[in-house]
Amino acid sequence: MKLCYQNIQIIDLVNDWHKQDKIIAFIPTMGGLHQGHLSLIDIAKQKADKVIVSIFVNPAQFDKNEDLDRYPRSLNADLVELEENVDSVFIPNVKQIYPNGISKYVDVGMIGRILCGKTRPYFFNGMIQVVEILFKIVRPNVAIFGQKDYQQLLVIKQMVKNLSLDIYIESGEIIREKSGLAMSTRNQYLSENDAKIAANLYRILTYVKHEVLQNKKIDVVKKMAEFDLKQYFKLDYLEVLDANTLKQITDNTCQIIILSAVFLGSVRLIDNIIFLKRNNYV
């Protein structure tokens, strides 16, 4: 496993691999690796000859009141996890990624201004900047992202399409704790008791899926689920939408997604469930 701290190091490595006609898979991360990240590496190994993981805590996607300074950083432990699993780890600093500074505004389109984009308008602006920069440096053939950050996944797919990048975007299923809680680096902020409470998010989303599949009226199901969520969390949003467009369900919808974001104390949790549409829903 080769460690690359500077852009030129990873560029030279990738150039050599491309000359050998190697297929390169790339997984951008902010570190604090867990089983969810490792599951993406498993996908990458199936898709490519060489696997690169980046570890970079991106300041552009944090608001001034958020947790940039205390975001979990565990580089040594992360490298142990990656040692036998990837071919290279790219560990740039801020100057390598943003030599000319961070752009204040990047248009991510309407899909980046709904759901999480309402609560965290700066997030997609910062996220899309760093992903585009990393793609230009690493030049992968395929990049893998987790389904838990579903809106992010669609924003990245849209960027790749708009820029005509020759990169295939693959997604990995959400990996969950035994309780059903979606794995996340920020779960480290939760106490043992909070983690038990947090599991109610997935339980309630599962209830919504069951009721929708029973042809219950979506508006009624949402209201009941929102009431339940508010017993445990501060609710950001709960939506039942077309999974391909993040718009309202229509007769042409083939996949439905239930998405929610909540706060448990100061910790923001997101989760979703995707399933095939069975009938017409009202």
pLDDT tens-digit map of 60-71: 888 777 787 878
Positive or negative, the CA dihedral 18, 39, 160, 254 is positive
State the fold for domain 2-172.
Rossmann fold (3.40.50)
Parse the chain into domains and list their residue ranges. Answer: 2-172, 185-274
> How deeply is 235 buried, as exposed, middle or buried, from its count of CB atoms within 10 A (0-12, 13-18, 19+)?
middle
Residue-level pLDDT at 8: 98
Residue-level pLDDT at 119: 87
Whole-number Å distance between alpha carbons of 65 and 32: 21
Residue-level pLDDT at 281: 53
Residue-level pLDDT at 101: 86
Query: Backbone phi, then psi, for 123, in 5-degree steps?
Result: -65, -55
Whole-number Å distance between alpha carbons of 156 and 236: 23
Q: Is 96 annotated as a binding residue?
A: no
pTM of the shown model: 0.93
- Picking from 176, 116, 165, the residue whose alpha carbon sits closest to that of residue 143 is 165
Residue-level pLDDT at 279: 63
For residue 258, give the H/E element and its range. Answer: strand 255-264
Residue-level pLDDT at 106: 74
State the fold for domain 185-274.
Pantoate--beta-alanine Ligase; Chain: A,domain 2 (3.30.1300)
Residue-level pLDDT at 45: 97
- Low-confidence stretches of the chain (pLDDT beneath 70): 104, 279-282
Mean of per-residue pLDDT scores for the chain? 94
Whole-number Å distance between alpha carbons of 137 and 140: 9
Q: Is 147 annotated as a binding residue?
A: yes
For 141, 176, 222, the CA distances from 218, given in Å and listed in that order, are 40, 26, 6
Q: Is 101 annotated as a binding residue?
A: no
Catalytic residue annotation = 37
Only one residue has tokens 């989760």, namely 271
Q: Is 250 annotated as a binding residue?
A: no
For 102, 147, 256, the CA distances from 98, given in Å and listed in that order, are 6, 27, 38
